[in-house]
Chains A and B, each alone.
Chain A
Amino acid sequence: MKPAPFDYVRPDSVAHACELLAADEDARLIAGGQTLVPMLAMRLARPAVLIDIYRLPELSGIRLEGDALVIGATTRQMHAERSKQVADSLPLLARALPWVGHLPTRTRGTVGGSVANADPSAEIPLVAVTLGAQIDITNPDGASSMPADDFFIGPMLTSVMPGDCVTAVRFPIWQQAHVGTGFHEVSARKSDFAFVAAAAQVALDDDGRCIAAALGIGGVGDRAIRLDVDGLIGERADSAKLRDIVAAATTVLEPTSDLHATADYRMRVAVTLGTRALQDAMADARGDARPNSGHHA
């Protein structure tokens, strides 16, 4: 057996889970386990207690609340990927989900788990930042919510405090008539960690002019970043300015070099993928044929 020994408990409510978590600083939550179990197997993590929240009904499921689609933390990535609600109201998430891990990890991996894990190249945090999602958190003192941009603070680092449990992610739904999305990613192999990922969502008016635009870039810095592309407002899909707007926006990125890609390469790819994602989103919003978004380096 590869992991170090631990105790296993399955609490019957979120409140109970938070109590157990707060009572023992060596306790950890487990849900889908697709990141935690490898860490246990390599003994990079050695919790004394695993608190299994995977089957708590209050944490799972997809529901509409006002202008937001609320996805419970332990909703499986596979279920979100197959959900008609997600396809209809969160097309950007629907487009990004097939890029998350592999099917056999999406079967058990959860939406909230990916958010709480905060990998800088992960797709779900990227969509959360791009759309300005809110992350719901419960701890023994009660429930609260914070914007994704404040939640993610660095690689595998979030603002959750000991004893906090992420309970749901609230993705805002754009209500405009013509909304389109684009998603591009470059990685070494299918579903491997992204060197660069770009997620874009735009809304056009009836004349095909942009009235809202969001672009997020993942994998480049220490967390996913939403860029300022408000320069696009009023522009059309064929705008010659598009690439310049993206290039100007990406100057805030702080790319790092590693074994896989240099900072310079990441920067260039970020501009290219960001531009393509926005172009696709514009075309999608106009109802043109669905663009395709696959790339492997």
Chain B
Amino acid sequence: MKATLKVNGRTTTIDVEPRKTLLDALRDDLGLVGSHAGCEHGVCGACTVLLDGDPVRSCLIFAVQADGYEITTIEGLAPAPGELSVVQDAFCETHGLQCGYCTPGMILTGHALLQRNPDPSRDDIVDAISGNICRCTGYGQIVEAIEFAADRLRKANAPRDLTGSDANQPHVDPAAATDAPQQGVLEAAEADTPHGGRS
């Protein structure tokens, strides 16, 4: 049976048995093996993909049912080859993964949460990932990764406070305009300190 899937912006028609799950079609027919097969009956979340932006378990939908949706897999998150999305990068920074088996599902779930709720509480994050099982990390660093990504995304495009009076707001040091580094590029952490860490 034919199934037309739009995955990460690209439309492909494949010929599959009706009993083939979207998960198996992504992995076997499209070669997108970033979606992981864990339990294959809907309890672990390793196979999570986004359907029109909302997380679903790709082992609980057949490929022949998935036409007409915008399907996003972990392969579709990175902004460009060799780069990482903010959420992906946050998982690296906070050691939000060990074996990595749950990670694509966790990242997509976190990504979907931040699309709807840019300022989630810790409880919101825990609730969002409650359907995803991780056997390695103990979850702490995964929650931290999503908090960290949320913080970065909020600050990325926020109007900046020029006085630096609110420690929770991104701010620019007014001297930065005249203080461009002589050579090289400042580390992000350095750039946040007055005068780029130079007195």
Contact = CB atoms under 8 A, between A and B. Distances in A.
A190 B127 contact: yes
B45 A104 contact: yes
Nearest to A33: B60
Interface stretch (A37-45, A222-230, A238-246, A252-260): A37-45
Interface size class of A (residues with CB under 8 A): 20 to 34
Contacts of B55: 103-104, 107
Interface residues of B, number: 30
B65 A107 contact: no
Most buried by A among B43, B51, B61, B65: B65
Specify which of A8, A41, A104 lies most central, judged by the most chain B CB atoms within 10 Å of its CB: A104
B38 interface: no
Nearest to B58: A104
Contact of B41 (A7, A42, A54): A42
Interface in A183-213: 189-191
Contacts of B65: 33, 52, 54
Contacts, number: 84
A248 interface: no
A107 B127 contact: no
A26 to B, nearest CB: 14
B56 interface: yes
A4 B19 CA distance: 7
A42 to B, nearest CB: 6
A102 interface: yes
8 contacts: A2-B41, A7-B18, A8-B1, A34-B60, A37-B59, A40-B19, A104-B45, A104-B54
The 7 closest A-B pairs by CB, nearest first: A102-B131, A8-B18, A38-B41, A41-B41, A104-B55, A190-B130, A3-B19
